[in-house]
Amino acid sequence: MKMHPPATKILSVDGHRAADAFAIAQGVAGEQLMEAAGQAVADEIIKRWSPRPAVIFCGPGNNGGDGFVVARRLREHGWPVEVAALDPDHNWSGDAGQMARRWDAPVSLLAPELIAGKGLIVDAIFGAGLSRPVPEGVQKLIISAMERAIPVVAIDLPSGLQGDAGRSAGKKLSRLVGAFAADLTVTFHCLKPAHLLQPGRSLCGEVVLADIGIPEGWEAEAPPLGEINTPDVWAHLPWGFETDIHKHRKGRLCVVSGAPSSTGAARLAALAGLRGGAGLVTLLSPPAAMQVNALHNTAIMVKRFEGPEGLLEALDERRATALVIGPGSGVGDETHDLVIAATAREAALVLDADALTSFESDPAHLFRHLRSDDVLTPHDGEFARLFPDIASGSLNKIERARAAATAAGCTVLLKGADTVIAHPECGVRVNIHASPALATAGSGDVLAGLAGAFLAQGYGGFEAASMAAWLHGDAGIRLGEGLIAEDLPAAIPNAVAELKRRRKTDAARKALTAPANRA
């Protein structure tokens, strides 16, 4: 999904209604908002396609009103346009009624036959507010559009998607859910969960966010659900070191290794920790795995430990500022006891994989020991084991992550193509800066080690997880298809360096364009 201009805040469907109401209370006419929305959609269409026969499908509400504006604006630019509706005799009211009356051409009955011979479909049927399956007639339209492969532009959201859930309320149509698959979606003011969460995100195509003139101050009436995870929302960029820095001031990360046959995951995490900027990384190895770990590490130190007491002694000796437990550590009482013991020290924890599943039978025991800066990094399966009641409900992924963070009392990084990072006090971020190529064995171990690196350097859990998710995704984008987990750590320094160059360039550009100071 492409998204521009850069956006940060995420609003629910009700939040958008509240923002619109706030704008109207501030003197911005609803009719003005609708004209701005329709104009924005028409502008984006004109940028991408030359004039061609187009059909605009208008629904009974405000989304349909936006569609009438699009039809009028396209016609003004020489496009042959036809408008169709579920009910051509529908009495549109309010602002949508104003726009319908300004369309001085016939309105046809919505039907699949209207798609024939068209070069563009504009979906203005339902938008984000739909909470029921699309009617049969619209289902036939969706199937016909899929079969003919005609470009589809969705206003706000592809019809059939629930704006807060990011999924359809209806049955699947062919390989897709019961919603249009758009090539372009133009939405307004802020993104909704469905623009970011799967499967909705994959149905939106390119997403353009348009400013329609909501005045400042709207957040007091419509608090955002969260924000998109980009470097612009981080308090600091990683690796913000002074020139006289030394390795111990860059953080001391420890990673717990598993048995001899499963040491690779911990080594990947440790390597990511070193590439992520931790000054000193130690792989804590059970006695039986010492030889294999020593043979496969150079800059990463290896130290023997045995049992919870041995772990605490090793953490004290290394003066660890962060600890990663879980990758390849094994599921069971041994890992369970290591985690509980580690919470007795100040080192912030990243708990991944086996460290999470080891608490499946009593997650509350884990939650009682966690601290605010600890980070949990479950995928959906591990999340369901640790938070069964939350996972089995009807919450969307943003709501699930937030509820889990509240239950655990720390940061929860819920992995996936739509990774969600939540903290009970810091809020929620959604990371979509990633690549499908990251779906490979060991990728999650690298992510855990990267989060550990930033914890070790003194970042809070929410910031550490946010930076790790974005940079991990950026490495995947840089490397592309065919990457393996071993490739990822080496791509991290280039990603950070590019961020710093971009930040300097932006700062210089702002300085050049800022008004001159006057005496």
**Which residues fall within 8 angstroms of residue 397, CB to CB, at 6 or more apart?**
166, 193, 197, 414, 416, 418, 420
510 annotated to bind ligand: no
Q: Is 415 labeled as ligand-binding?
A: yes
CB 431 within 8 A of CB 401: no
Residue 17 is assigned to a ligand binding site: no
SS (H, E, C) 478-492: HHCCCCCHHHHHHHH
- Counting Cα atoms < 13 Å in the Cβ hemisphere of 255 gives 36
- Burial (CB count within 10 angstroms: exposed 0-12, middle 13-18, buried 19+), residue 471: buried
Answer yes or no: is 265 a known binding residue.
yes
30 among annotated binding-site residues: no
337 assigned to a ligand binding site: no
Per the annotation, does 117 bind a ligand? no
Lateral strand order in the sheet of 280-285: 9-10, 226-228, 427-431, 419-423, 411-414, 375-376, 348-351, 322-325, 252-256, 280-285, 301-304
Tokens standing for 461? 């859990």
Record the tokens describing residue 440, joined without a space.
Answer: 């490979």
The answer on whether 95 is annotated among ligand-binding residues is: no
64 labelled ligand-binding: yes
CA distance 501 to 100: 50
Whether 474 has a binding-site annotation, put simply, is no
129 is in an annotated binding site: yes
379 labeled part of a ligand binding site: yes
In whole angstroms, what is the distance from residue 135 CA to residue 278 CA? Answer: 56
Closest to 456 measured CA to CA, from 339, 300, 285, 281: 281
Query: Is 449 annotated as a binding-site member?
Result: no
DSSP E strands: which ranges in 164-237? Answer: 184-188, 206-210, 226-228
Is 262 annotated in a binding site? The answer is no
State yes or no: 63 annotated in a binding site: yes
What is the rounded CA–CA span in Å between residue 153 and residue 143?
Answer: 15
> 332 a known binding residue?
no
127 is in an annotated binding site: yes
Whether 133 has a binding-site annotation, put simply, is yes
Q: Is 460 annotated as a binding-site member? A: no
131 annotated as a binding-site residue: yes
Residue 445 annotated as lining a ligand binding site: yes
Answer yes or no: is 461 a known binding residue. no
Tell me how far apart the alpha carbons of residues 237 and 55 are, in angstroms, rounded to a whole number. 47
- Residue 65 is assigned to a ligand binding site: yes
Which residues are annotated as part of the binding site for AMP?
415-419, 444
In the annotated binding site, the residues are: 62-66, 123, 127-133, 156, 159, 265, 328, 379, 415-419, 444-445
Annotated binding-site residue numbers for K(+): 63, 123, 159
Residue positions forming the annotated binding site for (6S)-NADPHX: 62-66, 127-133, 156, 265, 328, 379, 445
